[in-house]
């Protein structure tokens, strides 16, 4: 898990440098090998669906010519929204792990009680969670300040 958290931190920095919401998704195969990683790219591309989860899933699916990710796990820094939850369900990912609840847009635990009987869901709470929460808070604080200037 330590290696994965180091990769998350690197991707968070890339998101920050590109003025993107600091959200990272990591896809692990059945052997817990990292097979795809992405961060949000919605602002850079002006493409509404360019959330980290969807980019990570699509990168793997295209490269491997398969959208069926049964047995795979996704680790996300921010609780997935409705759109990303749908993509996770459609791709048959078996486990969702996330660090920070998304009180505004989260669709798994925060705002909706969705039936995920085929998917194991777990929130990760540790020092990395605190780091991610700080990065998200700082990002949106800066965005609000930019709007007020």
Give catalytic residues, as residue numbers: 53
Q: State the CB neighbour count (10 A cutoff) for residue 55.
A: 21
Contact 110, 79 (CB under 8 A): yes
Give the number of other Cβ atoms within 10 Å of residue 145's Cβ.
9
How far apart CA 66 and CA 131 sit, in angstroms, is 34
DSSP 47: -
């Amino acid at each position: 898990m330590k290696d994965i958290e180091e990769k998350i931190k690197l991707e968070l920095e890339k998101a920050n440098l590109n003025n993107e919401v600091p959200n990272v998704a990591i896809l692990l195969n059945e052997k817990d090998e990292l097979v795809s990683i992405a961060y949000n790219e919605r602002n850079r591309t002006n493409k509404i669906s360019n959330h980290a989860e969807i980019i990570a899933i699509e990168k793997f699916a295209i490269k491997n010519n398969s959208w069926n990710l049964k047995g795979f796990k996704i680790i996300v820094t921010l609780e997935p929204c409705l759109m990303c939850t749908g993509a996770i369900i459609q791709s048959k990912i078996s486990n969702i792990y996330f660090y920070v609840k998304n009180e505004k847009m989260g669709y798994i635990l925060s705002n909706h009680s969705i039936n995920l009987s085929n998917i194991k869901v777990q929130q990760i709470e540790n020092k990395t969670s605190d780091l991610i929460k700080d990065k998200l808070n700082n990002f949106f604080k800066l965005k609000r300040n930019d709007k007020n200037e």
